[in-house]
Amino acid sequence: MNQTNIKYKEKNVIKEATRSAGEEVKSNDIVPDGTLITAEVSGINSFKGTISQTYRIIKTKTDISKAWKRFLLLVNLAWY
């Protein structure tokens, strides 16, 4: 399995760790440039199927919350 070295912030201290491909990105992770992140949502109840979108981190200090909001918009458009 592919592994990558990442940095994360804990109590205002930058630390390092190793993550495996497919491991969940945590809210305090500092994701390296060039990383591909795939977000996937599966429907429940009357919403059937799964939708996913892959994003490439292209610059340091990228706020992926903006990408997440765009992904949620795509999910809403796909199911309505």
pLDDT, tens digit, 9 for 90 and up, residues 27-75: 888 877 788 888 888 888 888 888 888 888 877 555 666 677 777 777 7
Q: Are strands 13-20 and 3-10 parallel, antiparallel or unpaired?
A: antiparallel
Beta strands in the chain (DSSP E): 3-10, 13-20, 29-30, 36-42, 50-56
What is this structure's pTM?
0.53
E strand or H helix that includes residue 12: none
- Total residues belonging to the chain: 80
pLDDT digits (tens, 9 = 90+) for 65-79: 667 777 777 777 666
What spatial distance separates the first Cα and last Cα of the chain, rounded to whole Å? Answer: 37
